[in-house]
Amino acid sequence: MPTPPLKLALRTVQKTRDAVRGALLWGYEQRLARDVKAHGKLPRHLGLILDGNRRYARASGLQRELGHSFGADKAHEVLQWCLELGIPAVTIWVLSTDNTSRDAEEIAHILKLLEREARNLATDPRIHANRVRVRAIGQHENFPGHVLDALEELERKTAGYDGMQLNIAVGYGGREEIVDAVKRFLSGEAAAGRTLEEVAAALKPEHVSAHLYTAGTPDPDFIIRTSGEIRLSGFLLWQSVYSEYYFCDVYWPGFRRVDFLRALRDFQGRDRRFGK
């Protein structure tokens, strides 16, 4: 076994290495930030699929619920990064309609976090100083009343703001959104006295777009998904037809500012042709 002085020396060497790595990473991050800001091209609407909370907890030897808790904390941190860069619109996917079939204990914990974070955002000085308008999008009919109250309070307190548009996609599914949009459109046309044949003959893509949950927000330019999964899983299906995608291997709670800046730099280097 190493003698105590040798152990101490090894610890000192390790601390020195960690400090050097930290300093190098900090320097690299600062350079990335300068490059991203200097380029100037940023998404008008950034979509974030917050994936990997449970796997992060499992890999770290933590309880599953802690992964979701750390994920909620990370969302606050990433919101700050978006505010600093002046990104006009952000949609974060917190809970899908598919996720709601998970065991009751896990869903109850996620909803408890959602209520807590909604109440925190409603009083967050950053939200009000930056005039962030927050909307919860998705199907919430089966959520507990206290969760709905928290979401409604957050939306009400930020309804008149004209800064960043922050959409919190919870109880959200892309197919469900399109079906709901078509239903709302058809209901409006029926109320106006139009026949089904008249509606079908005149139907255009913009009629559906106008009734989506995200109506009034530009379609997402850029979508980031963490955890290494290479798929959208139904996120903003209609709106993402011309989106650029970026898939990051890191789990959401471990998503660093340097990862965020790398993604944005990658977006800035792309030539968007919109099918042309």
Active site members: 51, 99
| DSSP structure string for the chain | ---HHHHHHHHHHHHHHHHHHHHHHHHHHHHHHHHHHHH----SEEEEE---HHHHHHHTT--HHHHHHHHHHHHHHHHHHHHHHT-SEEEEEEEETTGGGS-HHHHHHHHHHHHHHHHHHHH-HHHHHTT-EEEEES--TTS-HHHHHHHHHHHHHHTT--S-EEEEEEEE-HHHHHHHHHHHHHHHHHHTT--HHHHHHH--HHHHHTTSTTTTSPPPSEEEE-TT--S-TTTTTTGGGG-EEEE-SS-GGG--HHHHHHHHHHHHT----TT-
231 is in an annotated binding site: yes
207 is in an annotated binding site: no
243 is in an annotated binding site: no
54 is in an annotated binding site: yes
184 is in an annotated binding site: no
53 is in an annotated binding site: yes
272 is in an annotated binding site: no
102 is in an annotated binding site: yes
97 is in an annotated binding site: yes
Binding site feature residues for substrate: 52-55, 64, 68, 96-98, 102, 225, 231-233
Binding site feature residues for Mg(2+): 51, 244
